[in-house]
Structure 1
Amino acid sequence: MKSTSLGDLAQSFMLQRRSVALRQDLNRLNDELSSGKVSDVRQVLAGNHNYLTGLERSLEVLEGYSVANTEAAYLTATMQESLARVQDTGSALGIDLLLASGGSVGVNSGNPSENARAQLDSIISALNDDVAGRSLFAGTATNDAPLPDGETLIGLVRAVVAGQPTPEDAMTAAANWFADPAGFDALAYSGSNTALAPFSLSDTERVSLDVRANDDAIKDLLLNVTVAALGDDAALGFDVKDQAELFGLTGIGLQSNQDRITSLRANIGFVEERIELISARNEAEETSMTFARNSLLAADPFETATELESVQFHLQSLYSVTVRSSQLRLVNFL
């Protein structure tokens, strides 16, 4: 029987090679044990990466939708807050105007017209709100504020109602101007008549939101506040009695318009609810896919720990053999 032996140099190379391989396995197993993921993905997938690629692509898409959901939620929440300010201001002003219509104007109720002018500025400021430079109520014209300042709007309406003989006539002239496409929409509203494009919140879900500053409910509110601001204006020339009547008409108009503003806010609230539901579904889907990906690439901690212990034992044994081999001498053998 023949015996095969290795020379000293060959044996040294073999021990070095084995040592390097064991250290590489040791590093790999340490990484897998600490990260919980396998190092050699190709071996786990047997070369078939289609499933993993599909999962990772879906997770990237869901991450993009998450950003869109966050943006849509913030936009609608800000719109809701702005309309809440508009509604609260209009409601409070309506009550003040009704009180002024039943008393001595300018004595018990302050100056209703001056109050209306101040509240008009507040309402316009709310309707000109923007998010990161993007106007909320201007349709697709997101770079522009949809409404002019209060003095400009008052000036436009003043030219329409000047010289009207009675408060009813002044209200009718102002209402016609706000309803005329060549009036408010052309001269005061600088936004777009096109609604914002729907928000894409998932592969199958789209959410549309169309609330603009030239909505009929908002125009009706602006009509009553602006006319009330002109109550004591010299262009109308109304006496105290006519002013009180005008304040009564605008106060009733503001109060009766509350339901229409509430309807606008309800539409936004419905969109907010849909955004929340879609976001919850996307998060659940993302969690499920993340779990599937992690399960596919997860390293069994018990198996990894056992293999790590075995590699450590073999490495220690190799070191022991190397040390003993290095101590071999012919003198010792003889």
Structure 2
Amino acid sequence: MKYMSVGDMAQTYMMRNHNVQLKNTMTKLSNELVTGVSSDVGAAVGGDFTALAAIERSLSRSDVFNQVAVETNLLASSQQSALELMQGHANDLGSSLMSITNTTHTAEIATGAQDAEIRFSSILDALNTNVAGRYVMSGNTTDTRPVADSNTIMTALKAATSTALSGTDVVTAVDAWFDQPVGGGGFLDVAYFGSQNPLAPVQISDSDKAQITLTAADSTIRDLLKGFALATLVSQDAVPNNQTARAFVMQAAGERMVTADVALATVRANVGLVEGQLESAQTRNTSQKAALEISKTELIGVDPYDGATALEAVQSQLETLYTLTTRVAQLSLTDYM
């Protein structure tokens, strides 16, 4: 019988080679178990990457759509919060101001006017809400603060009512100032700095678009501002100094607040429709992404049970190799003889 011996050096290299191969296999199997994806994607798809590329593209689009929906929903919810605050102020104060008459005590008129002045500043702050560096009421110029401060508006209104001789004249002048179109020197020129154009529609899924159209230039918001501005004029003694005129202006302020309170409910409902559309799109995008992930796993994934079994087998082989290496290393001529 022929017998071919293997030299010690050759045997060492052979065992090292086995060791490297087993460790590489163990690393590969470990990565596949952790990621759930085959390390040889080409073999998993049989060399045809068409389906995998389509899934990856759809996953990327789904992520983009979802991100756009989240950001747009943040703007819409911020608008909703601002509208809620404004409607609350109108609801709290409108009815009480409407009840003011010529016989109302001077102190009560002054108190109501001062309350309205404070709330006026709060409403303007709400209109200037900024979320993540974007003003939510500026239309498509989200980097621009939409509304001037109360001092700027009141200075313009005092100039517009400077020749008013009665409460009726004051109310007429204030209404006209807020209702002036662009170029007329009113609110849209002096106090509104945003765009007349709303935010552009955004794609939130493969088939859906959403658009936020509300700006601080909306007529309902201007009607609300009229009421608080009228009462603020009374607070700042910028109306004819007689009880009849002050009472008339305060009553007119209350009427505008109550009217705006009702109209704001419709505005908030419209914003709510956009919020609902965005939330539905997010839900659909999440479901679609989950389905795509499952398809991707089925395409290039590995079976956890098979992977664990293979990893255990390799581990056993590696332990056996270490045992053989140890025994070979302990061989000596003395022991052999």
Q: Structure 2 length as normaliser, TM-score?
A: 0.86
* Alignment-derived partner of residue 167 in structure 2: 167
Alignment of 1:237-256 (within 5 A): 237-256=240-259
Alignment of 1:188-207 (within 5 A): 188-207=191-210
**Residues 1:325 and 1:158: Cα distance change in structure 2 (over 3 Å):** closer
Deviation at 1:271, TM superposition (A): 0.5
CA RMSD in angstroms, aligned pairs only: 2.9
1:311 aligns with 2:314: yes
The answer for unaligned runs of 5 or more in structure 2 is none
Deviation at 1:268, TM superposition (A): 0.7
**Residues 1:5 and 1:330: Cα distance change in structure 2 (over 3 Å):** farther
* Alignment-derived partner of residue 223 in structure 2: 220
Deviation at 1:285, TM superposition (A): 0.8
**Residues 1:328 and 1:93: Cα distance change in structure 2 (over 3 Å):** same
* Structure 1 SS opposite 2:250: helix
* Alignment-derived partner of residue 144 in structure 1: 144
| Contact 2:109–2:250 (Cα < 8 Å) also in 1 | no
| Contact 2:139–2:214 (Cα < 8 Å) also in 1 | yes
1:129 aligns with 2:129: yes
The more displaced of 258-267 and 222-231 is 222-231
* Structure 2 SS opposite 1:95: helix
Alignment of 1:281-300 (within 5 A): 281-300=284-303
| Contact 1:113–1:229 (Cα < 8 Å) also in 2 | yes
Q: Distance in 2 between matches of 1:306 and 1:116?
A: 75
Q: Distance in 1 between matches of 2:323 and 2:235?
A: 105
Deviation string, structure 1 residues 262-281 (Cα, Å, up to 9, x no partner): 11111111110001000000
**Residues 1:306 and 1:152: Cα distance change in structure 2 (over 3 Å):** closer
| Contact 1:127–1:147 (Cα < 8 Å) also in 2 | yes
| Contact 1:113–1:232 (Cα < 8 Å) also in 2 | yes
Aligned partner (choices 264, 269, 275) of residue 267 of structure 2: 264
Q: Which amino acid aligns with 1:195?
A: P
| Contact 1:230–1:236 (Cα < 8 Å) also in 2 | yes
| Contact 1:44–1:297 (Cα < 8 Å) also in 2 | yes
Q: Distance in 2 between matches of 1:215 and 1:76?
A: 15
Deviation at 1:86, TM superposition (A): 1.0
* Alignment-derived partner of residue 117 in structure 1: 117
Q: Distance in 2 between matches of 1:185 and 1:296?
A: 58
Q: Identity over aligned residues, as a percent?
A: 28
Q: Distance in 2 between matches of 1:314 and 1:243?
A: 97
* Alignment-derived partner of residue 93 in structure 1: 93
| Contact 1:117–1:226 (Cα < 8 Å) also in 2 | yes
Deviation at 1:48, TM superposition (A): 2.0
Deviation at 1:231, TM superposition (A): 2.9
Deviation at 1:132, TM superposition (A): 2.5
Deviation at 1:136, TM superposition (A): 1.5
Q: Distance in 1 between matches of 2:336 and 2:108?
A: 122
**Residues 1:212 and 1:329: Cα distance change in structure 2 (over 3 Å):** same
* Alignment-derived partner of residue 81 in structure 1: 81
Deviation at 1:212, TM superposition (A): 1.2
* Alignment-derived partner of residue 229 in structure 1: 232
The more displaced of 315-324 and 87-96 is 315-324
* Alignment-derived partner of residue 107 in structure 2: 107
* Structure 2 SS opposite 1:210: coil
The more displaced of 85-94 and 111-120 is 111-120
| Contact 2:128–2:136 (Cα < 8 Å) also in 1 | yes
Deviation string, structure 1 residues 99-154 (Cα, Å, up to 9, x no partner): 33364242345433323222211111111111133211121222222222212212
* Structure 2 SS opposite 1:163: coil
Deviation at 1:24, TM superposition (A): 2.6
Alignment of 1:40-59 (within 5 A): 40-59=40-59
**Residues 1:169 and 1:23: Cα distance change in structure 2 (over 3 Å):** closer
| Contact 1:146–1:190 (Cα < 8 Å) also in 2 | yes
